[in-house]
Amino acid sequence: MHEMSLAEGVLQIIEDHAAKEGFSRVKSVWLEIGALSGVEPEAMRFCFDAVTRGSMAEGAVLAIIEAPGSGWCMQCGGTVPLPERYSACPRCGGYQLQVNGGTEMRVKELEVE
């Protein structure tokens, strides 16, 4: 479950920003998770709750913004939506697709005290 190490990374980002900005408690965290990132949102929620126990983010609400996947089709030359990494092009049915969106995971916003 790589979500545990990702949740630890999110907590590290929070702690780094707390040191810079001087806040002491996190109320909400907004994460953007791409559809093609390989991160399971529910597993991330579970791991975030476990990792933040005893920290300044304990009890924080984790809001997940799901970003759609997209790819460039080499056969028809268009950028198309991709629900899964190895899907066929919805326009031409080809499988020569280069993923160009939806692979990211990033902290978008923090609500702090």
Between the alpha carbon of residue 21 and those of residues 13, 14, 35, 66, 113, the distances in Å are 12, 10, 31, 27, 11
Residue 50 lies in a domain: yes
Residue 96 lies in a domain: no
Residue-number span of the structural domain to which 10 is assigned: 3-69+102-112
Residue 45 lies in a domain: yes
Report the CATH number at residue 16.
Answer: 3.30.2320.50
50-61 exposure pattern, b = at least 16 Cβ within 10 A, e = fewer: ebbeeebbeebe
Residue 108 lies in a domain: yes
In this predicted model, what pLDDT tens digit does every residue of 75-104 receive, in sequence order?
999 999 999 989 999 999 999 999 999 999
Residue 59 lies in a domain: yes
Q: How many domains does the chain have?
A: 1
Question: Residue 1's pLDDT is what?
Answer: 56
Whole-prediction pTM value? 0.85
Q: For residue 68, report the phi and psi dihedrals to the nearest 5 degrees.
A: -70, 155
